[in-house]
Structure 1
Amino acid sequence: MKMTSEVLVSRPRFDSREVAQAEPAERELASLREAPHPSSGAATAGYRSAKYTPGEWHSNNYSILQQAVTDRDEAQRIQRESKALYQDTEAATQRTQAEGTRLLGERLQDIHLCKSELQRHIDQLLADTDELLAQKTRLEKALDTTEIPYAISTDNLTCRERRPGPDLVKDTVEEELLKEVDLIRSVQALLKRTTAQVVSQIKNNREAKLMLELDWSDKYQAYNLDDHCGRHSNMSPDTQYHPSSATMQDQVCNPTSWLKFTQDNLTKASQEEQASKSLSLLVERVVQETSQDLRAQCSRVDRAFSQRCAELIAAMEQLDTHLTQILEQTGVQEKNIVALQQAIHDKEAPLRVAHSRLYLRSLRPNMELCRDEPQLSLVGEVEQIDASLASLHQQLSEARGSLSRLEESRMALEKDIMCKSHSLLIDRDKCMTCRRRYPTISALLGY
């Protein structure tokens, strides 16, 4: 019995649970190592048998039963916990999925609102750009139209340089023409500057519109992707595993920066829209004021031309009146000269008679050659005729001088009349006729 108890104590205990938990190879080794050796019959007589005792059998059975109870309870606990866990996780997953779907819906609304606002500003910028293009065309037409009045004004100045000397004066017409030339140059410079501003604004509008279109395109793609995401469900056949997509990318933006980017683009677009409206008003005011200024200056030049032509006509009428009088006086003076010449000629015969008488009486002999009354009368007659002839010759000389001066006056009057006729021809027939081609208000407005 002593040897038997020692053998029982020294035998290792067989634990089936540990074997079940070991690896397959280890389980086999443990089974081979722990399995009892079968009795070999007579060879083992008188020695300790390898069989278990009843106590060991009961102990082992009790241990197995207890382990089964423990394992069953553990399994039930795990089942209860698993059921609660998958119910909780299912509910949490459904809640999370529903929340994600709801947030996707809200995100779609936000994207739709941003897209609508972007589209509105894109349409507005497009309309503003089209209006500025029309304004640019108006400015270019108005600028081209100013070449006609500039050519007219310079041609008027060139033509008036061909006025004859006495009429080559810097009158009101020339002053107004010079003002008109300066005004046209100023208007052309202003139209060019305004056109450059319009071109620059069109460029800015197109750049802002491009940024909005790029942002709209991105949001269009994002909307379609989010809309597709929102349509995914647990029954969708096209869902796949993408483990790497669950990680947060470093380069992504946050909702604040996302909204700020769109707001910045919209703010820039609003600024360009406001600038476009202001520039359109400026263009309209510029073409209105420049056309009115040009037409007003044209009217002043036309009035100056009319006044100058009236002055030339009045001067020509006065010259014609004086020329008529000079011609009358010239005829009268010519007749006067003829009469004086005849009067001088008429004095020749009496002078010859008086000289002949005196000569014959100077032949009287001796004492008969006395200074009697006939002698004194003849001497007085000769002196009187000589004095008359001297007076007649003096008067004839003055008459001829007057006639010469009358001829000079006639020539001067005729020359002045020709000058003024030529000036009137330049101002009225040449310049004023040319100014009838002056552009109308609608042409100066660029229509």
Structure 2
Amino acid sequence: MATLSLKPGSRFSVPDWHTNNALISTNAERQRSASHQIRQEARSLRNETNNQTKWNEHDNSTRLSDRIDEVEKWKQALDKCLTDVDTEIDALTLMKDEAERALQAKNVPLDTAIECLTLRESRRTIDLVKDLVEEELHKEVEVIEGIRKALQQKISEAFEQLCLLQESRQQLTWDERDKSETIEIDQTCLSLTKHSPNISLKVDPTRVSYGTTSPQEWEQFSHYNKERAEAEVRASAQLREAIALTIAQTKNELDAQRQAVEFAYRKRIHEFEKAHKELKWQEKNTKEEIEELEEDIRRLESDLREKTGPLNLAHIPLERCTYRPNVDLCRDQGRTGCPLQTSCSH
């Protein structure tokens, strides 16, 4: 005969069973509600993070684009300034070369003036005088030496200014080159997308590299380079004007002194020609007087020779009269007339 086999352990009542089912349902509903809340929050977070990411990407792209525009603006300003510096360097170099040619051209007038002074030292006796020509020649030497000194000073200033311009140009070149490289880097960054190849996470990308500057320092650096270059260009332009003025003034001074020397020469030559003509006239008159005097001497000598016969003739009566005897040795007319004839013969 079969027997009833019962599972050991406690048994639950039907209400307990219903209660347990109700608890399971309530817990399931609570978990589903919590899951739904989590899913809603996750969706909201996804939307928020997606929007924030897109906004951040747009904001970063805008900032990077603005930064590129700003760097490009400074690069263009530096390029223009660099062009101005190059133009000024060429202009100042040409002006410096012109000043050097003007300085070189003063060698001939200086040598000429010194040669004139040397030649005039060969004048003789009374003609070796310190006249107006000598004074003007010495003054011309002093003027030329002063001109050479002034031109040499301007050439030295031009050389120093060229060095400053070259130094400023070098700073501009370095700054412009750095900005070109910066623009290239930033444009590459701006063109990147999440689909670009070879992109990955980097170690500590937000680190501050050594030598990093602030935007204010960055702008001040370029502003200083630009202002310095512009100041050197202005100084160079003023120096070019000063050099051109010096060349013109020294040329006028030399021309004026040359005209003074030429006037002194013409005046002195006129005096010499006048004195030479006077001496020639005096020489001519003196020669004529000498010729007339010589002619008179020859005539006197001829007359003297012609008087020898009458003199001899006069001496004989005088000598014979001395032989008169006694009281007849008288100074009568015959005796006194003979001495008169003798004196006339002498």
Give the structure-2-normalised TM-score: 0.90
Structure 1 segment 40-439 matched on structure 2, within 5 A: 51=9, 53-54=11-12, 65-249=25-209, 251-382=211-342, 384-385=343-344, 389=346
Give structure 1 stretches of 5+ with no counterpart. 1-44, 390-447
Query: Which residue is 2:3 aligned to?
Result: none
Task: State the shift of 1:317 in Å.
Answer: 1.5
CA-to-aligned-CA distance 1:346-405 (integer Å, 9 cap, x gap): 4443333333222222123334333333223334544x34xx74xxxxxxxxxxxxxxxx
CA-to-aligned-CA distance 1:286-332 (integer Å, 9 cap, x gap): 11121222222222222222222222222212211111111110000
State the alpha-carbon separation in 1 of the partners of residues 262 and 151 from structure 2.
Answer: 25
Between the aligned residues of both structures, percent identity stands at 27
State the alpha-carbon separation in 1 of the partners of residues 96 and 130 from structure 2.
Answer: 39
Between Structure 1 and Structure 2, whose CA radius of gyration is higher? 1
State the alpha-carbon separation in 2 of the partners of residues 367 and 299 from structure 1.
Answer: 98
**Aligned amino acid, residue 354 of structure 1:** A
Comparing 145-154 and 51-60, the one that deviates more: 51-60
State the alpha-carbon separation in 2 of the partners of residues 196 and 170 from structure 1.
Answer: 38
Task: State the shift of 1:279 in Å.
Answer: 1.1
CA-to-aligned-CA distance 1:143-186 (integer Å, 9 cap, x gap): 11111111111111111111222221122221221111111111
CA-to-aligned-CA distance 1:178-220 (integer Å, 9 cap, x gap): 1111111111111111001111111111111111111111111
State the alpha-carbon separation in 2 of the partners of residues 94 and 284 from structure 1.
Answer: 64
State the alpha-carbon separation in 2 of the partners of residues 242 and 52 from structure 1.
Answer: 64
Task: State the shift of 1:72 in Å.
Answer: 2.5
State the alpha-carbon separation in 2 of the partners of residues 373 and 162 from structure 1.
Answer: 74
Partner SS for 1:244: coil
Give structure 2 stretches of 5+ with no counterpart. 1-5
Partner SS for 2:122: coil
**Aligned amino acid, residue 45 of structure 2:** L
RMSD between aligned alpha carbons?
2.3
Task: State the shift of 1:64 in Å.
Answer: 5.0
Give the structure-1-normalised TM-score: 0.71
May I ask how many residue pairs the two structures share in their alignment? 339
**Aligned amino acid, residue 270 of structure 1:** E
State the alpha-carbon separation in 1 of the partners of residues 290 and 194 from structure 2.
Answer: 129
Relative to structure 1, is the Cα distance of residues 98 and 374 closer, same or farther in structure 2, using a 3 angstrom cutoff? same
State the alpha-carbon separation in 2 of the partners of residues 87 and 370 from structure 1.
Answer: 187
